[in-house]
């Protein structure tokens, strides 16, 4: 069911699946290989108030022998929700926290 607007439908015919795949890629382009880190276990949470809370999340995964490949901090770390910034009052040690995470892997 569509809410409105127009849509395009493509029908691709080929002698075998490889021919159809090549035709499909000629329309949409070739897919990008997913980075290996993106295939792991991710933890994302809104509401982290400081890097201590982030560290507690990481520690709990470790304590419970759960995999954790990536931790996302949502927008809580930002200074006034501005891109490429971080709240130096509550997340002042964020660079050290990130460096520590990279060292442990």
**Domain locations along the chain:** 36-103
Which helix (H) or strand (E) segment is 18 a member of?
helix 17-28
Percentage above 90 pLDDT, the chain: 66
Give the residue-averaged pLDDT of 75-91. 94
pLDDT of residue 1: 65
Prediction pTM value? 0.65
- What is the 8-class DSSP label of residue 93? T
R_g of the chain, CA atoms, integer Å: 22
Q: Is the pLDDT of residue 92 over 90?
A: yes
| Tens-digit pLDDT profile for residues 4-21 | 888 888 899 999 999 999
Residues 46-60, mean pLDDT to the nearest whole number = 94
């Amino acid at each position: 069911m569509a809410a409105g607007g127009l849509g395009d439908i493509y029908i691709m015919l080929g002698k075998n699946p490889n021919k159809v795949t090549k035709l499909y890629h000629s329309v949409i382009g070739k897919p990008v290989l997913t980075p290996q880190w993106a295939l792991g276990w991710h933890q994302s949470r809104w509401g982290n108030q400081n890097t201590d809370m982030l560290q507690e999340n990481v520690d709990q995964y470790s304590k419970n022998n759960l995999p954790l490949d990536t931790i996302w901090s949502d927008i809580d770390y930002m200074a006034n929700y501005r891109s490429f910034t971080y709240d130096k009052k509550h997340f002042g040690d964020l660079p050290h926290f990130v460096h520590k995470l990279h060292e442990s892997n």
